Amino acid sequence: MIPTKADMYKALEERHGKELQKKFASASVAVCGLGGLGSHIAFALARAGIGRLLLIDFDRVDITNLNRQQYKADQIGLDKTEALKENLKEAAPYVQIKTYCKKLTEKNIPELLDEADIICEAFDDPECKAVLTDTVLNRMKGKYLVAASGMAGLGSGNIICTRKITENFYLCGDGVSEVSEETGLFSARVMLCAAHQAHIVLRILAGEHDA
């Protein structure tokens, strides 16, 4: 039996406190890219009681995603936006979710992300990362951007960290390790970076702005 919305909210209040949970519930967070980083970021935020998630990706679930992303084998071929929405609703049935199955561009970013308080960059393509970062920081003043760089390989998880780059820009990862023929992506290390991103979102909403 699925708990009522009131019961689930009460349980979150007991864990986080009434005032903090109220801040989480009233927040809107965008997750741009729904792969190994984005799918885990979305789950962490939904479980924390974030009120509204904007999920953005133009890709479909592939068998190669299953080693590190929050999808199921029977979802192969589905749009990632709809597959992740379905999975999130199983864990957090009352989170409001808006999906955009499209590629973000310099032109559409301001419109699509306007309602988000905080924007999470979770792309694996350097060009997409650059376009989102440049557009948000230069054209969407006042928005918080939480990005990632460096989470590939089997290096120590202890070097993954969160750095505050500017007043509204945070960067998570080790800043070094990139995907190559010799260095792949492993679920546990990618999840560590995603957890850093989700955690700084919660800290920002709580009024804690240091990294």
pLDDT of 180 strictly over 90: no
- Mean predicted lDDT score pLDDT of the chain: 96
Residue with more model confidence, 184 or 202? 202
Question: In one letter, which amino acid is 51?
Answer: G
Q: Is 93 part of any domain?
A: yes
Q: Is 18 part of any domain?
A: no
Q: Is 10 part of any domain?
A: no
Q: Is 15 part of any domain?
A: no
* Structural domain count of the chain: 1
* Host domain of residue 85: 25-205
pLDDT of 183 strictly over 70: no
Q: How many Å apart are CA 14 and CA 33, to the nearest integer?
A: 32
> pLDDT category, 208, cuts 50, 70, 90?
very high
Give the global pTM.
0.96
Q: What pLDDT is stored for residue 108 in this prediction?
A: 97
* pLDDT, tens digit (0-9, with 9 covering 90-100), for 140-158: 999 999 999 999 999 999 9
Q: Is 101 part of any domain?
A: yes
Q: Is 11 part of any domain?
A: no
Q: Is 5 part of any domain?
A: no
Domain CATH code at residue 74:
3.40.50.720
pLDDT of 181 strictly over 60: no
Q: How many Å apart are CA 128 and CA 103, to the nearest integer?
A: 9
* pLDDT, tens digit (0-9, with 9 covering 90-100), for 105-137: 999 999 999 999 999 999 999 999 999 999 999
SS3 for 152? coil
Q: What pLDDT is stored for residue 182 in this prediction?
A: 60
Q: Is 88 part of any domain?
A: yes
Q: How many Å apart are CA 118 and CA 170, to the nearest integer?
A: 11
